[in-house]
Amino acid sequence: MHLNGEAVRTCTLPVSAVQGAVITSIEGLGTPDNLHPLQEAWVEHSVPQCGYCQSGQLMSASALLAKNPNPSDDDIEMAMNGNICRCGTYSKIKSAIKSGAEAMRTQGSLVEIFDPVITDKEASS
């Protein structure tokens, strides 16, 4: 999850810490019709295996790329440190982050974050 644009681990974050904050979850990265470049790279590199860690991995990677559009291997390893993949797909994750970064740079702008809450409110107005 992103809390005010920063990747945070929800398993250790008390709910009281998010009051008044801007929150983006995995559902905010893309839509089924318009995947985030990282989500596309995840599929392209066959990253998902069991799926257990995917939300945390993608949210940490997207926070990294929002701050550093051309990360080195060391940058990626530091940003992803603590995200554990039970299936051991770390090399695929790193490759997907690099591909997603390239796609985002090629697009020439930051990818818009989708907010399903705002969309639902707009639809009901």
Return the pLDDT at 9.
87
Distant-in-sequence, close-in-space partners of 122: CB < 8 Å, separation ≥ 6: none
pLDDT, tens digit (0-9, with 9 covering 90-100), for 107-120: 865 555 555 555 45
Domain count, the chain: 1
Q: In what order do the strands lie in the sheet with 6-7?
A: 6-7, 2-3, 23-24
Q: Residue 68 sits in a domain of what CATH number?
A: 1.10.150.120
Q: Residue 51 sits in which domain range? A: 2-124
pLDDT of residue 121 exceeding 60: no
Q: How confident is the model at residue 10 (pLDDT cuts 50, 70, 90)?
A: confident
100 and 70 Cβ atoms separated by less than 8 Å: no
Return the CA Rg of the chain: 15
Structure tokens at 124: 């009901």
Could you tell me which of 35, 64, 65, 54 has the C-alpha nearest to residue 93? 54
Tokens representing 2 are: 């992103």
Q: What is the pLDDT of residue 115?
A: 55
Instruction: Say if CB 107 and CB 37 are below 8 A apart.
Output: yes
Name the phi and psi angles at 23, rounded to 5: -115, 135
Average pLDDT over residues 55-60: 94
pLDDT of residue 51: 87
Mean pLDDT value across residues 63-78: 95
- One-letter amino acid for residue 87 of the chain: C
